Amino acid sequence: MADCIFCKIARKEVPAEIEKETDNLIIFKDVNPKAPVHLLLVTKKHFQDITEANDGVWDEIGRVAKEIAREKNLKGFRLVHNAGEAAAVAHMHVHLLGEVSAEREV
């Protein structure tokens, strides 16, 4: 989508602190971090959310999240996906929140 901010980041039309990239995902730092490590795992292809994405997307997100956790030696992390009206940006993405405790509110 032409005016979607995450599509623009994926096309590298808008700058972002890119941490990692695959053929299907671009991973960058959240501009408003809510954790010591807060990355967004964003699909390069525009899907609104889980309701439109195929199962392969989830497999890749899980694999890449585990790679990032190992690379950063995270003691713990959360993966959060917001769908529909719960999402601030209507483009498939998952928040990786690292170094958060079990007692912390989501």
How would you write the pLDDT of the chain (106 residues) with one tens digit per residue?
Answer: 779 999 999 999 999 999 999 999 999 999 999 999 999 999 999 999 999 988 799 999 999 999 999 999 999 999 999 999 999 999 999 999 999 877 766 5
pLDDT of the residue at 1: 72
pLDDT of the residue at 101: 73
Dist. CA 106–CA 102, nearest whole Å? 9
Say if domain 5-98 classifies as CATH 3.30.428.10: yes
**Annotated domain spans of the chain:** 5-98
Active-site position among 46, 81, 91, 93: 93
pLDDT of the residue at 31: 96
List the one residue out of 41, 100, 40 whose CA is nearest residue 76.
Answer: 100
81 is catalytic: no
Give buried/exposed letters for 40-72 (b at 16+ CB in 10 A, else e).
bbbbbebebbeeebeeebeebbeebbeebbeeb
Give every CB contact of residue 92 below 8 A, 6+ residues apart in sequence. Answer: 42, 43, 46, 47, 48, 49, 50, 52, 53, 57
